[in-house]
Chain A
């Protein structure tokens, strides 16, 4: 295990980094997006969760997915559980595909995670539909593309902070 990529054998990420990034992502989602931007904005929390599912699956797993989904439902003031369901399923799928996804560079991962991100939007729409919501405009699904575009900077940035932390063993 010498010539492996840095994510295989490395120190666990700081809890502060994990929680801080999740909080920041949630705050991004809480910004008053409106109109077209509402549908086109990336699913910030899901992307950050996705990063940690790949990098820290033992600490950020399906429980975090469920909790994050509930928080998203609160933020959207929708039916509670809609995003919790979607995120839980995507978390499971990501954890299944984890080893495979990690063998790609962030750019290569784009095509792999696009179906996952679209699945999240589809599941949330289906769950919202069953609990009395309407069908969102088609631009909502176009948001899957902004998701993967945002994925590259988000994962690179988080990875960068993860590696450049000061004195990891302390």
Chain B
């Protein structure tokens, strides 16, 4: 008879602790420092994907049952509401389309680069993320639907966050309320530019880089400034709710509430086009150029010919 297995000890527990502890720290370092680790993580995430779907199944069933038993009257109300907003929005969207064309023509006349257009992928929030340290949302679309890290995520009201990692079938959104998440914004009232910074667990946003004397008031709306080339210009981000400035501090303490229902939405739009804007140059500008040129050809002949310089990225 061989030795009972409890006499075969192997390395001592402490040696194992040192080994696995060092291995864990190495894994952490590699995951944080090296981009290549994303591939490994994406592959591993795909491995646990079936289990995740299985775990979501009971919730889906309960949700489905809820929809099944929702009353006729509620459906009717919802339907009316949607119909009304559809009429309203389609009228507005027709106006926006004509304004967009006009703007493109004017920009072309002024030799300004066309605004990068952005396309969206509509996604559903699978769950609120399970990470107690960083608030995230997990979406039901991933790389296969054209989602990539860096793309902005919006809802009907405003900016929700940014895609920070994507596996083939799912993507994670880090919310604007997170600590490391910054969005370049401007104050809609006076065009003052600054950066936001999330406050973490409290669900608010602060403006850490505004000096005490900055012209900002409670109730000001902050919209994206678009100077980063990631977030398209003019999407609402937050409203200023509280300003505390004291003589002892150089920077005012400005608290804002996000405009979007950051952690409450079910459907989110991921803006896909703007991710093609690399940090170094606005490569999306040439991509959007053909539409602008096409619209120009329909404009009166008094317009100057489209110069190649107009399509060059001139901003930043």
Contact = CB atoms under 8 A, between A and B. Distances in A.
A20 interface: no
A66 B26 CA distance: 13
Given A76-B130, A77-B138, A77-B172, A131 B16 contact: no
B128 A34 contact: yes
A31 B59 contact: yes
| Chain B binding surface, main DSSP class | helix
A38 B31 CA distance: 24
Interface in A64-108: 65-66, 69-71, 74-82, 84-85, 88-89, 91-92, 95-96
A73 B5 CA distance: 31
B78 to A, nearest CB: 23
Interface residues of A, number: 51
Size bracket of the B interface: 35 or more
Contacts of A132: 32, 134, 180
A62 B128 CA distance: 30
Contacts of A62: 13, 16-17, 20
Interface of B: 5-6, 8, 13-14, 16-17, 20-21, 23-28, 31-32, 37, 41, 44-45, 48, 51-52, 54-56, 58-59, 126-134, 136, 138, 165, 172, 178-180, 200-201
Contact of A80 (B17, B27, B127, B172): B27
A63 to B, nearest CB: 7
A134 B134 contact: yes
B124 to A, nearest CB: 12
B51 A85 contact: no
A27 B50 CA distance: 11
Contact of B178 (A34, A95, A134): A134
Contacts of B21: 85, 88-89
A134 B25 contact: no
A74 B44 contact: yes
Contacts of A71: 48
Nearest to A92: B17
Contacts of A30: 48, 51-52, 54-56, 130
A134 B179 contact: yes
A92 B130 contact: no
Contacts of B126: 32
Interface string A116-141: 00000000010111111111110010
Given A74-B45, A92-B17, A35 B128 contact: yes
A81 B201 contact: no
Nearest to A138: B201
